[in-house]
Each structure stands twice: as C-alpha cells, then as structure tokens.
C-alpha cells in the first residue's frame, strides 16, 4: 500500500532511517484468534508471558499483545496470592490463581481493550500495521465507535529527526498550532475526549512556547515542559523524549509515572477505528505529516505562531482557529 505519506525528513537523529511504532487498542475478538492471525498470517513467533500478555518475535523486534489491564499484565494476582499465602499460612494453588485470573480477564474484556504494540518499524515497513488491522477487522475486531464507552485509541511513536532543542521546540510549536484543527479533522470520539488521557496543551503553555523571544536551552525546555505539563496525559506526550535526554530530571518530578524513555514523540490523539469501513492507520499517520511539514518550514511556523498568539489574545474571535488553519492548509 502507498497510502502512507512520507515525511520530508526520513533520517533520524543518528542519520539512519527513521522508525515508527504503533499501539492499537480494540475489542470484540478472542485472544486465541488474535494470536492465530499474528502467528499464521504474519509469521510472528508467539512467546507466552501469562494468559493475557504475549510477546511475538519478528525481524524488527517483539510485538506485544496484552489485555491492557494492569492487574493481569503485571502478574499481580500471582504476587498478591503468594503474599497472602505467607500471611495466613495456607498454600494457594496455582490452578486457583489461574481460575481467578481467567475470571477477572473474562469480566474485563468488554471494557478493557486488547492492545497490540509494534516494535519500532522502519519507515519503509510501516504498512504492516494496516495489514494487521485488515485481518483483525475481518474477524470482527472493533474499535472506538463500536460502543459508547469504548474510549480506545491509536498511539503513534514517531522517532525524532534531532535531539536538538530547536528541533524539539519547532515540533511542539507546530503541534500546538495544529492541535485544534487535527482534533476536528480526526473527529475525536466523545468517550475519548472526556477521559484525561489525551488532554490538549493549555493556553498558558502555548503562549509560553510560541513567544518569539523564547529561545531555551534543552534544560530550560525540559523544565518548562514539566512545569506546565507534569503528566503523560497529553495528546502529544513528550515525556519519553525528555526522559531519554535526562531521565533523572524527569523522574525527580514524576517518580511514579509510567514512562518509557525513547527518542520518539508519543502521539496519543487518534481514535482506534478498527472495524469501521475504509479506515486505515495511514489516515491518522497522514495527519501527523501535517505536523512534520509545519515543524520543518521555519517561515510558515513563524507566521502561524504570530497569528495564533494574536488569535489567543483577541477577546472576540469571529473565526475559529481550526477554520483559519484549514484555510491556510488549502492555500499552501
């Protein structure tokens, strides 16, 4: 398939081809069916961790399949049972633990999604995610729109072109300028909007980073991000990159937050529309390309930064910002 647009800059911060990872949430399908599809149709080698967590070996690294439920995936049932056994002096058998685990898994499957996480895939190989989705959809896998409470998402982990602060700042500026437009264009589901997981950046941070006099060092950029956004619950999560650059500084502020340090933007906004007619991951990826293009167009970025700041300061705005962005995109 050739529906995935290519970024203008294809090399990463090490001057190698960029890699992209995907995390897809879905439900309405049995785990045995998912495993069969991944093993037989995509030649992945299955390694069971527990009943609801599997690693699948590939030439790119391990795919991960899990029921996205911490009690199961972190194997806390077994750990807690062992601790309880020691306290009360009664041996809890493994088969009893298996029964409890299966019960929790069964009652969770309608509200807790399965998640497939890919390893970082070379840009030239990312079409595999659409191929996997097509097979899952043929077996009735469903995403965000299937039920009102399915707040399922698609996350895209986009390897950076540079760890230089000017590049990171350009991407952040491009994203905050485009976030309202992308929200509207992607028709982000209400069930996902009302969760805290994909909050947009707030006005105070946007105005701070769009100021033409803002020229931070990497330490200032990191500290400012953590000051305004002490959470991973942003539609574009920068914590993985910042932790990759200086994990100690990030952990000092967020010691208990789940963060996987990596040189990639964690783009969390998109719906998981698996099972919806004609939906492909490439549609969501191509919205990201808008951010890529603006971030690497310094004159357009400077112009839109000034226009957006003016828009934010204007008490009476007759035109919505996303409409202005749409007009600008049509003419460029």
Contact between 135 and 37 under an 8 Å Cβ cutoff? The reply is yes
Which ranges constitute the DSSP H helices of 44-93?
70-73, 76-88
User: How buried is 152 (Cβ within 10 angstroms: 0-12 exposed, 13-18 middle, 19+ buried)?
Assistant: buried
- Burial (0-12, 13-18, 19+ Cβ within 10 Å), 151: buried
pLDDT of residue 278: 84
Residue labelled with tokens 């050739």: 2
pLDDT at 96: 59
Angle (deg, nearest 10), helices 165-185 and 218-228: 30
Query: Looking at the chain, how many residues does it have?
Result: 332
Rounded-to-integer distance, Cα 156 and Cα 326, Å:
23
Give all strands (DSSP E) within the chain, no chain letters. Answer: 19-26, 45-50, 53-58, 61-67, 114-117, 121-122, 154-159, 236-237, 264-267
Contact 31, 312 (CB under 8 A): no
Q: How many CA atoms lie within 13 A of 312 on its CB side?
A: 18
Q: What are phi and psi of 303, to 5 degrees?
A: -65, -50
Distance CA(70)–CA(288), nearest Å, equals 29
Q: What is the pLDDT of residue 299?
A: 96
Instruction: Give the separation between CA 329 and CA 332, rounded to whole angstroms.
Output: 5
pLDDT averaged per 10 residues in sequence order, the chain, 332 residues: 86 97 93 95 94 93 84 46 54 60 53 88 95 94 72 93 98 97 89 79 97 98 98 96 98 94 96 89 96 97 96 85 92 82
pLDDT attached to residue 89: 55
Look up residue 61 and give its two tokens.
């690294």
pLDDT at 195: 73
CA 15 distance to own-chain centroid: 24
Q: What is the pLDDT of residue 91?
A: 65
Best CA proximity match to 270, nearest among 179, 203, 174, 148:
179
């Amino acid at each position: 398939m050739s529906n995935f647009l290519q970024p203008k800059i294809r090399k990463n911060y090490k001057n190698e081809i960029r890699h992209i990872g995907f995390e897809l949430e879905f439900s309405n399908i049995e785990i045995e069916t998912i495993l069969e599809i991944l093993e037989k149709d995509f030649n992945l080698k299955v390694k069971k961790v527990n009943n609801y967590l599997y690693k699948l070996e590939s030439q790119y690294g391990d795919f991960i399949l899990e029921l996205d439920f911490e009690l199961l995936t972190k194997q806390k049932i077994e750990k807690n049972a062992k601790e309880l056994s020691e306290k009360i002096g009664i041996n809890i058998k493994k088969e009893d633990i298996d029964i409890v685990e299966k019960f929790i898994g069964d009652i969770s499957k309608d509200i807790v999604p399965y998640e497939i996480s890919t390893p970082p895939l070379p840009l030239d190989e990312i079409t595999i995610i659409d191929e996997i989705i097509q097979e899952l959809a043929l077996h009735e896998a469903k995403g965000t729109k299937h039920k009102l409470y399915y707040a399922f998402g698609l996350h895209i982990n986009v390897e950076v072109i540079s760890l230089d602060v000017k590049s990171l700042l350009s991407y952040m500026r491009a994203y905050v300028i485009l976030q309202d437009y992308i929200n509207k264009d992607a028709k982000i589901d209400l069930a996902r909007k009302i969760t805290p997981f994909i909050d947009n950046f707030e006005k105070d941070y946007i105005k701070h980073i769009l100021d033409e006099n803002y020229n931070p060092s990497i330490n200032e950029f990191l500290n400012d991000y953590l000051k305004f956004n002490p959470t991973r619950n942003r539609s574009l999560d920068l914590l993985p990159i910042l932790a990759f650059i200086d994990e100690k500084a990030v952990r000092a502020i967020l010691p208990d937050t789940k963060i996987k340090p990596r040189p990639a933007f964690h783009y969390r906004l998109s719906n998981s529309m698996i099972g919806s007619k004609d939906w492909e991951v490439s549609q969501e990826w191509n919205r990201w390309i808008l951010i890529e293009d603006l971030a690497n167009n310094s004159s357009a970025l400077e112009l839109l930064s000034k226009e957006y700041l003016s828009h934010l300061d204007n008490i009476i705005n007759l035109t919505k910002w996303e409409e202005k962005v749409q007009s600008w995109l049509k003419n460029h």
